[in-house]
Amino acid sequence: MGLFQNTKNGQIVEFIGHHDKDWAMVKNSTGVVQYIALDDLVEYQVGVGRTDKKPQPQSAETPKDEDAIPETTIPIDTRLNLNAASAESIAKAVKGIGYATAKKIIELKMSLPGEKFQKLDQLRKIGRVDWDAVFKADLIYVGP
């Protein structure tokens, strides 16, 4: 069906199919298949970014061509994975975040269970940053 962005963690995922009327089966850039609520997905276009289009629930009347070859593959993600990034790379990659704030991001990550971010919203604990603008710029995500 295409590429979508998980609004919870910012990952770009490939839509595989509907699980039921509220859930989708998707594959992330590392090949991991997972289930995500349709409400947490927005369409993503390469070179454009995310759009406001949401995937529609599947109806029982929609026929699918099971023999069709999928056309899309997940592109190489050039955004910064906060779970794998250093303070230096965060400060260099994200406008509005200096080295001191980047160190606070790393400290926050290390204090979390599993020493990983699960959602982008966890970053809001760090003040003095316009997180809405950072999220809208779509330069970061939280991955495995």
Give the model's confidence band at 80: pLDDT under 50 very low, under 70 low, under 90 confident, else very high: very high
Alpha helices, H only, the chain: 87-93, 99-111, 131-137
23-37 mean pLDDT:
90
- The overall pTM is greater than 0.75: no
Q: What percent of the chain has pLDDT over 70?
A: 90
Averaged pLDDT of the chain:
86
Point out the least confidently predicted range of 34-38, 70-74, 118-122, 123-127. Answer: 70-74
Question: Is the distance from CB of 30 to CB of 144 less than 8 angstroms?
Answer: yes
Q: Where are the beta strands (DSSP E) in the chain?
A: 2-6, 12-18, 23-28, 33-37, 41-45, 49-50, 80-81, 140-141
Domains of the chain as residue ranges with CATH: 2-50 (2.30.30), 80-141 (no CATH)
The predicted-structure confidence for 99-140, as pLDDT tens digits, reads as follows 999 999 999 999 999 999 999 999 999 988 899 999 999 889
* Spatial distance between the Cα atoms of 105 and 98, rounded to a whole number of angstroms: 11
pLDDT the model gives residue 63? 65
